[in-house]
Amino acid sequence: MNPEERKQILSGKKATARPGTTNQNATDSAGKPVQQKLTFGQELWSWTKTIFSSLLIVMVINGILIASFVVPTGSMENEVLPGDFLFVNRFIYGGSSPQTIPFFNIPLPYFTLPGLRDPQKGDVIVFIFPGGRSDVKARDFQYYLKRCVATAGDTLQIINTKIYINGVEQPLPESAKFDPLLSTPSSGDASQTFPDGYGFTRDNWGPMRIPQKGDIIPLNDSTYRAWRIFVMREGHEVERNGEIINVDGKPVTSYTVERDYCFGMGDNRWNSLDSRYWGFVPMDDVIGTPLIVYWSWPVAVDRDGDGIANTENPAEQTSFWEKLGSIRWGRLFNVID
């Protein structure tokens, strides 16, 4: 310790660091702490930690409590409209650990938490899309929005667009819509519906029981085509060798259902690809129910069923400022039911 340092200590001031040394408690001549300048690497690491921590907090909140969902199609008109931004209640059916990596939509292994209750008939539900009728797994990870019209153990039948559950006709949702432009189904409608080979149509479907855990499904020559994908979606290998059907390499004549399911349909009954076309929704894959609309503006949607997005509002093809003028203020904070 040199005389100058001894003098500063006796005067009540801490010594500043000598050149070439590090002193985190360094002070200036007035006794105020001296801000140590971070290196580029330290700055980068600090920002990385901040961003990562923020993302982690958002992912946890998004998985357990409240999530955001943008309505991409008109299948649920008029309850929700394409371009509605919704807050989704994840807590009610049981939240989960993060299911995707933000911004990249890459699926992650996840676990679910117990919920307050299961989805019920009439609930608007957000769920993980199970895939097309012939897909064991969806090609892309997507969330879908439909109305739950039947749950595990119900027998569902659609007769001339009217829904019957366990033989009782169900009232239409107040928001239900039948688009007159799509009143005539496509010529191949019966060949596109689920289950494969049953010949159901969008307006006349069933009767069929919604699978419940423990149900026994016969597997034979007449049912193999319809139920093969269903069994594979539950995680099993299914193959046919002549008249013998093997599940996980063992010959079987029936299959015991391992999960509960529900049936989802769009309120826009003639313009909705839903469970009538690709099958049942596992209850475990229902992630929540919408609460309110927090933002809304028009987007391009497929209005005539030809697979081509049509323009709902000219503002979609103009500047950002003009698009701001198309905000549907009347829909903000609408409650979804």
CATH of domain 67-212+261-331: 2.10.109.10
Residue located via tokens 């200590």: 9
Q: Which two tokens stand for residue 144?
A: 């879908």
Helix (H) or strand (E) holding 58: helix 40-64
With b for 16 or more beta-carbon neighbours within 10 A and e for fewer, the 222-260 pattern comes to ebbebbbbbbebbebebeeeeeebebeeeebeebebebb
- Degrees, nearest 5: CA angle 311-315-321: 155
State the Cα–Cα distance between residues 264 and 51, nearest whole angstrom: 38
- Write down the domain spans for the chain: 67-212+261-331, 216-256
144 beta partners: 127
Alpha carbon distances (Å) from 3 to 10, 12, 15, 22, 24: 11, 14, 12, 20, 22
Q: Which two tokens stand for residue 74?
A: 């008109």
pLDDT tens profile 151-186: 999 999 999 999 999 999 999 999 999 999 998 888
State the Cα–Cα distance between residues 12 and 212, nearest whole angstrom: 78
State the Cα–Cα distance between residues 307 and 287, nearest whole angstrom: 27
Task: Answer yes or no: are the C-beta atoms of 168 and 251 closer than 8 Å.
Answer: no
- Degrees, nearest 5: CA angle 101-105-110: 50
Predicted model pTM: 0.78
Q: What is the pLDDT along the chain (337 residues), one digit of tens a residue?
A: 555 555 555 555 544 444 444 455 556 566 666 667 778 887 888 878 787 777 666 666 666 668 888 998 999 998 999 999 999 999 899 877 777 776 666 787 877 888 899 999 999 999 999 999 999 999 988 999 999 999 999 999 999 999 999 999 999 999 999 999 998 888 889 999 999 999 999 999 999 999 999 999 999 999 999 999 999 999 999 999 988 999 999 999 999 999 999 999 999 999 999 999 999 999 999 999 999 999 999 887 644 443 334 444 444 456 778 778 889 999 999 999 8
